[in-house]
Amino acid sequence: TAFIFFTALPLVLLLHVDIIHGEYTVESADYVIEEKFECHFMNGTQKVRLLDRWFYNQEEIAYFDSDKGYYIPKTEFGRPDADYWNKDKDLIEQRKAYVQTYCIHNYDILHSVTADRRVKPSIKISLTHEDPHSEHHMLACNVNGFYPSEIEVKWYRNGVEESAQVVSTDTFQNGDWTFQILVMLETEITKGDTFTCEVLHSSLETPARVDWHPQESDSGKNKVVTGVVGFVLGT
């Protein structure tokens, strides 16, 4: 059986470009066809670009670009569809009109709600990987529940910034108009060290910091590393 759904996702600010997404998906046991609308805004609504993107089994095959005014094939598989749609003058005019009726219309509604919205993040440090045969361990700083999506996360060891062994996930949505990110540090851990996860975000007047202090306890011949976490607001 097949199912169809449509969803309008929240307005996202990314590198000064606002994007509104809409998705339309048909799925069966053999294939997935997806249509995705994207509205790209530069400087508010001074410049608006609509993309109507078509995917077959997660591969983009063709898209409409309002800056061009027609469908463009991405693969040979999508070329017949693009040629067919470009011959439909009513469809092309409708897609051009979506810049106003879909993009700008939704921007005005969502921007009025989200323009001044700020939600502070929660911060948690955990020891995610521990190898008793290695001096290296993995610390993870989970930053969750913040809005807007722009954020900067840094690791420090004993007050010195660590960057060489830091790996970060992409920022992704929680589904409740907030975001989260996971930033990991691979490092040696010795008793007396202080590890700090520092978060800079527009919801915070000053950077927020969480400290993690390792403790050692002997268990037979193996040393087990645990941690004590303290939350500190920067000055």
Got the DSSP string for 12-59? EEETTEEEEEEEEEEE-SS-EEEEEEEEEEETTTTEEEEEEEEEETTE
Q: Average pLDDT in the 80-88 region? A: 96
| Each residue's pLDDT tens digit, 12-67 | 333 233 444 455 555 555 668 888 888 888 877 888 899 999 998 889 999 999 99
| Each residue's pLDDT tens digit, 177-223 | 899 999 999 998 888 899 999 999 999 999 999 999 987 543 333 33
| pLDDT at residue 79 greater than cutoff 70 | yes
Q: Average pLDDT in the 140-162 region? A: 95
Please give the domain boundaries of the chain with CATH numbers for all domains: 3-114 (3.10.320.10), 122-233 (2.60.40.10)
Predicted pLDDT of residue 234: 47
Beta strands of the chain (E only): which ranges?
Answer: 3-8, 12-14, 17-27, 32-42, 47-56, 59-65, 70-73, 122-130, 136-146, 152-157, 160-162, 166-168, 172-173, 179-188, 195-200, 208-219, 222-233
